[in-house]
Amino acid sequence: MTDALPKTGLRLFNSLTRQLETFIPVHADEARVYSCGPTVYNYQHIGNMRAYVFADTLGRVLQYKGYTLTHVINITDVGHLTSDADEGEDKMERMAAREGKSAWDIARFYQEDFLRDLARLNVQPKQHPRATEFVEEMIDWGKRMADKHCYALESGLYFDVSTVQDYGRLARAVTEDGAEEIRGRIESVEGKRNAADFAIWRKTPAGETRQMEWDSPWGRGAPGWHLECSVMGEKLLGFPFDIHTGGIDHREIHHPNEIAQNQAFCGCGGLSDAENSGARMWMHNNFLVERSGKMSKSSGEFLRLQLLLDKGYHPLAYRLMCLQAHYRSELEFSWEGLGAALTRLKRMVMQVERLTDAAAGNPAHQKFAPALEKFDAAMSDDLNTAIALTALEEALAVKKVDAGIKRAVIERMDGVLGLKLFDLARTDLRIRPAAAAVTEDAIKQALTRRTAARAEKDFATSDAIRDELTAKGVEIMDGDPLGWDWKLA
């Protein structure tokens, strides 16, 4: 392997065709990727974050192969209902009501938390458009599709899935009768022509107001969730773009609906060639699960990245844990597994410490050729990160070689894996719950004590509590107009 990296030969699994395909960019030397982002009504759990570690790894591999990457991870700040099938309440409005804050503030708060988690996991900077910034464009899309593909009901504008060819083909990647399964599972809104029809625009019911609503030809209301991703993908990346990613749950409803809209938008209705589905490839990561089953935001100890940090684990140990499994395999979370990943990361960091003084040389050295070839072959084989990690360890184990050359090899591999091996010190990787023991509960308790002290004009105690929290990285926000009590500095 030389410095001139090959630009072909990357094989990726396309859920749409259910096979491995060689990546051929739509635009020469470029890769344009759209990854469905989170609905920011709550914190993300580490399962959600697996989806972004996968998307980031894909982006890094494309860059390593020499493509200039444009990568969007959107922020869904309106439109996603409690069911993916477009039924139930608006997630944002429901959380706003529960927390006594405005839906806009909720969105900002959880968006910031999400971006912080991405940075902790060393996810490279991406574009993060918010759905609420694209409402005009969504209305334009709706107008363009309305005559041929949509119909109006009292509750809004609906997309008729029978107006496009082969609706649900993506879902059939899961089961042969995927589309039928979708149809069977979705509750019906009265008047829908097909059970799988979904809302393009949801009208605010008469006599009600929503916090997030806009005027449209179909009444005052809010856009449907599926429409957002179609519109942001088209506006920011152009159709067709290269790769659309998401978790496997999106293979069943959200992405089939996006594809149906994209077909309608292209004016073709058909799916005869991949161009019409908006993206050439659709890729899906499998789930992170808990031993007890599906990961959820309500059950027991909510598995957030912050909880891992509170327990003293470095976030990159979680990134490594994700990379140890293939993205298309289910991964079971356990604290033992996370601990093992932390130990493995520490071992790598200790080996890298010996190289930090050396200036990076030329990685093209015969001693490293087998490891570099293995690494390239593994990553080219549908992102086999588990094997790529062993190639990295083999490179780390090469003896009697110039430190600068070794450094260059390890940097090249780590640039793709994103473990920050040259930035970490072994002391960062000690499990130290004591140092990280500032949990949300502890903060709230401290703030309650501080409020009581202030009520009694005991400012010494109040200041002491503030200093204690500041030392733990918690900034108290007295008199914040949005009503937040604190934030992490």
**Where do contacts with ligand AMP occur on this chain (CB under 6 A)?**
36, 38-39, 47-48, 50-51, 246-247, 249-250, 285, 287-288, 295
Nearer to Zn ion, 45 or 284 (CB): 284
The binder of 295, among ligand AMP, Zn ion, none, by C-beta within 5 to 8 A per type, is ligand AMP
The binder of 178, among ligand AMP, Zn ion, none, by C-beta within 5 to 8 A per type, is none
- 423-429 own/partner pairs: CB under 8 Å, 24+ apart: 424/314, 424/316, 424/345, 424/349, 425/349, 425/353, 426/346, 426/349, 426/350, 426/353, 428/314, 428/349, 429/314, 429/317, 429/342, 429/345, 429/346, 429/349
The binder of 168, among ligand AMP, Zn ion, none, by C-beta within 5 to 8 A per type, is none
Q: How far is the CB of 47 from ligand AMP (least distance, A)?
A: 2
Q: How far is the CB of 136 from ligand AMP (least distance, A)?
A: 23
Q: How far is the CB of 112 from ligand AMP (least distance, A)?
A: 15
The binder of 229, among Zn ion, ligand AMP, none, by C-beta within 5 to 8 A per type, is Zn ion
Q: Could you give the C-alpha distances from 279 to 7, 230, 258, 268, 471, in angstroms and in order?
A: 20, 10, 10, 15, 48
Nearer to ligand AMP, 216 or 257 (CB): 257
Q: Is 75 in the site for Zn ion (CB under 5 A)?
A: no
Measured from each CB, the residue nearest to ligand AMP is 247
Q: How far is the CB of 260 from Zn ion (least distance, A)?
A: 13
Nearer to Zn ion, 216 or 230 (CB): 230
Q: How far is the CB of 96 from ligand AMP (least distance, A)?
A: 16
Q: How far is the CB of 260 from ligand AMP (least distance, A)?
A: 18
Site for Zn ion in 214-233 (CB under 5 A): 229
Q: Is 378 in the site for Zn ion (CB under 5 A)?
A: no
Q: How far is the CB of 36 from Zn ion (least distance, A)?
A: 3
Interface mask (CB under 5 A) for Zn ion, residues 9-48, using x and -?
---------------------------x------------
The binder of 156, among ligand AMP, Zn ion, none, by C-beta within 5 to 8 A per type, is none
Q: How far is the CB of 78 from Zn ion (least distance, A)?
A: 13
Nearer to ligand AMP, 87 or 249 (CB): 249
Nearer to ligand AMP, 249 or 310 (CB): 249
Tokens describing residue 297: 């935001």
Nearer to ligand AMP, 169 or 250 (CB): 250
Neighbouring C-beta atoms of residue 162, cutoff 10 Å: 12
Nearer to ligand AMP, 151 or 302 (CB): 302
Q: Going by C-beta distance under 8 Å and a sequence separation of 6 or more, which residues neighbour residue 163?
A: 148, 149, 264, 269
Q: How far is the CB of 123 from ligand AMP (least distance, A)?
A: 13
Nearer to ligand AMP, 91 or 192 (CB): 91
The binding site for Zn ion (CB under 5 A) comprises 36, 229
